Structure 1
Amino acid sequence: MSIFGQALRAACATALLLSTTAADAQDWKARIPVIRIGILGGENAADRLTNYACWKDKLEAHFNVPVELFPAADYAGVIQGLLAGQLDIANAFSPNSYASIVSQDPDAVEAVATQRQTDGSLGYYSVIIARKDSGLKTVADLKGKTLAFADPNSTSGYLYPSFELKAQGYDPATFFAKTGFAGGHEQGVVAVLNKQYDAAATWSSAIGDESKGYSSGNLAKMVQKGALNMKDIVILWKSSLIPNGPELVRKALPADFKAEYAKVLFDLPKSDKTCFDAIEGGDFADFAPIPAGFYDTVIRMRQEQDAGRRKS
Structure 2
Amino acid sequence: MKTIIRFSLAIATLAFASLTQAQQVFRVSAIPDEAPTELQRKFKPLGSYLEQKLGMKVEFVPVTDYAASVEGLVNNKLDMVWFGGFTFVQAKVRSGGKVVPLVQREEDEKFKSVFITTNKSINKLDDLKGKTFAFGSESSTSGHLMPRFYLLSANINPDTDMKRIAFSGAHDATVAAVAGGKVDAGALNISVWEKLLSQGKVDSNAVRVFYTTPGYYDYNWTVRADMNPAMRKKLTDAFLALDKNDPQGKEILELQRATRFIPTKPENYESIERAAQQAGLLK
- Measured against the shorter chain, the TM-score band is 0.7 to 0.9
**Where does 1:128-167 land on structure 2 (aligned, <5 Å)?**
128-131=115-118, 134-167=120-153
Give the alignment's TM-score, normalised by structure 2.
0.84
**Where does 1:217-236 land on structure 2 (aligned, <5 Å)?**
217-236=191-210
Deviation at 1:162, TM superposition (A): 1.3
C-alpha contact (below 8 Å) 2:148/2:279 kept by paired residues: no
- Of 235, 242, 259, 1:268 maps to 242
In structure 1, C-alpha distance between the alignment counterparts of 2:89 and 2:33, rounded to whole Å = 18
SS in 2 for 1:236: strand
Whichever residue aligns with residue 276 of structure 1, its letter is L
**Where does 1:100-249 land on structure 2 (aligned, <5 Å)?**
100-117=90-107, 122-131=109-118, 134-204=120-190, 217-249=191-223
C-alpha contact (below 8 Å) 1:96/1:299 kept by paired residues: yes
C-alpha contact (below 8 Å) 1:149/1:182 kept by paired residues: yes
Show structure 1 runs of 5+ residues with no match: 1-28, 205-216
Deviation at 1:247, TM superposition (A): 1.8
Deviation at 1:251, TM superposition (A): 2.2
**Where does 1:278-293 land on structure 2 (aligned, <5 Å)?**
278=255, 280=256, 282=257, 284-290=258-264, 293=267
**Residue 292 to residue 185, structure 1, CA distance change in 2 (3 Å):** closer
Whichever residue aligns with residue 108 of structure 1, its letter is K
**Where does 1:52-67 land on structure 2 (aligned, <5 Å)?**
52-67=43-58
C-alpha contact (below 8 Å) 2:174/2:188 kept by paired residues: yes
Deviation at 1:224, TM superposition (A): 3.6
Deviation at 1:167, TM superposition (A): 1.9
- Cα deviations by residue, 1:85-124 (Å, 9 ceiling, x for unpaired): 1111123x2000011111122443211122113xxx8211
Deviation at 1:291, TM superposition (A): 5.9
Query: Share of identical aligned residues, percent?
Result: 23
Deviation at 1:187, TM superposition (A): 0.6
**Where does 1:21-60 land on structure 2 (aligned, <5 Å)?**
32-60=23-51
Deviation at 1:236, TM superposition (A): 2.1
SS in 2 for 1:144: coil
Deviation at 1:285, TM superposition (A): 2.4
Deviation at 1:250, TM superposition (A): 2.3
Q: Aligned residue pairs: how many?
A: 261
Whichever residue aligns with residue 300 of structure 1, its letter is R
In structure 1, C-alpha distance between the alignment counterparts of 2:250 and 2:260, rounded to whole Å = 9
- Structure 1 stretches of 4+ moved >6 Å: none
Show structure 2 runs of 5+ residues with no match: 1-19
